[in-house]
Amino acid sequence: MNPSRVDFLVDLAYGVMIFISIALINIIGTEVGVAFGLGVLISYVIHVVWKMARFDPEWMTAEVTQNVEDTLTREVDEVIDKLETVNERVDRRPRTEEVEETVDEKVDQKVDQTVDETVDEKVDETVEEKVDETVEEKVEETVDQTVDEKVVETVDETVEEKVDETVEEKVEKITTEDEPSLKDERSETDSTN
């Protein structure tokens, strides 16, 4: 006989006896059915203990160990998968060096741009002020100098011409007025001589 078949038949017989105890509870009465059912259950527990003792005592330990190993392997694989997923996410995130490089580049660009704009503004303002001042001073000096020279020259020429004209006119006028008296004086001088 095959031990597996014997075990199957014994298990089936106990199942039928439990069914009969349920039927007795309904037909005869509760006391008889409960008594019969308890007897069947107690004998079934004894049978299971006997079966376990008959087989390899480490069978249960091996089964439990195998189940625990399978469960742990599955859970560890799931945790490893989750860790790999997290690592991939972390790898996709920028690292500190990359963040620092990006920040440095952005700051350098902004500083360069701001410095260029500020320097351009200040240089434009300063150059404009200095050029305005210098041009104003030079133009004023040159105009003053040129005007002074021209005025002096023109005044000198004009005064000289006017003086010359006036002197000539006065001399002519005097000479013209004095000519008759001069003639008289000459005549007098001539006669005395």
pLDDT in tens, 23-73: 887 888 788 778 887 888 888 887 777 777 666 556 566 766 777 888 888
Please check whether residues 147 and 191 belong to one and the same domain.
yes
Averaged pLDDT for residues 184-189: 59
pLDDT attached to residue 83: 84
pLDDT attached to residue 60: 60
Write down the pTM of the prediction. Answer: 0.28
Please check whether residues 20 and 104 belong to one and the same domain.
no
Most confident of 6-15, 68-77, 147-156, 177-186: 68-77
Please check whether residues 76 and 140 belong to one and the same domain.
no
Backbone angles phi, psi at 92, to 5 degrees: -75, -30
How would residue 165 be classed by pLDDT, with cut points 50, 70 and 90? confident
Share of the chain above pLDDT 70, in %: 79
Averaged pLDDT for residues 87-93: 71
pLDDT attached to residue 56: 59
pLDDT attached to residue 189: 60
Average pLDDT value for the chain: 76
Can you tell me the distance from the alpha carbon of 54 to that of 46, in angstroms, rounded to the nearest whole number?
12
Please check whether residues 111 and 182 belong to one and the same domain.
yes
The more confidently predicted of residues 112 and 95 is 112
- Give how many domains the chain has, as a whole number: 2
Residue recorded with tokens 């996410």: 89
The beta strands (E) that lie in the chain are given as none
Please check whether residues 59 and 83 belong to one and the same domain.
yes
pLDDT attached to residue 94: 59
pLDDT attached to residue 131: 74
Q: Which of 92, 121, 155 is the last residue in one of the domains? A: 92
How would residue 178 be classed by pLDDT, with cut points 50, 70 and 90? low
Q: Which residues span the domain enclosing 48?
A: 3-92
Which among 84, 120, 4 is positioned nearest to 51, based on CA atoms? 4
Please check whether residues 50 and 104 belong to one and the same domain.
no
Which among 157, 182, 50 is positioned nearest to 165, based on CA atoms? 157
Please check whether residues 79 and 110 belong to one and the same domain.
no
With 0-12 CB in 10 A as exposed, 13-18 as middle and 19+ as buried, what is 44? Answer: middle
Please check whether residues 52 and 107 belong to one and the same domain.
no
Task: Look up residue 55 and give its DSSP letter.
Answer: S
Can you tell me the distance from the alpha carbon of 114 to that of 156, in angstroms, rounded to the nearest whole number?
61
Task: Look up residue 21 and give its DSSP letter.
Answer: H
pLDDT attached to residue 184: 59
Q: Which of 92, 125, 150 is the last residue in one of the domains? A: 92
Please check whether residues 64 and 106 belong to one and the same domain.
no
Please check whether residues 24 and 51 belong to one and the same domain.
yes
Averaged pLDDT for residues 111-139: 78
Please check whether residues 148 and 159 belong to one and the same domain.
yes
Q: Which of 61, 92, 123 is the last residue in one of the domains? A: 92
**Res 17 pLDDT > 80:** yes
Please check whether residues 193 and 107 belong to one and the same domain.
yes
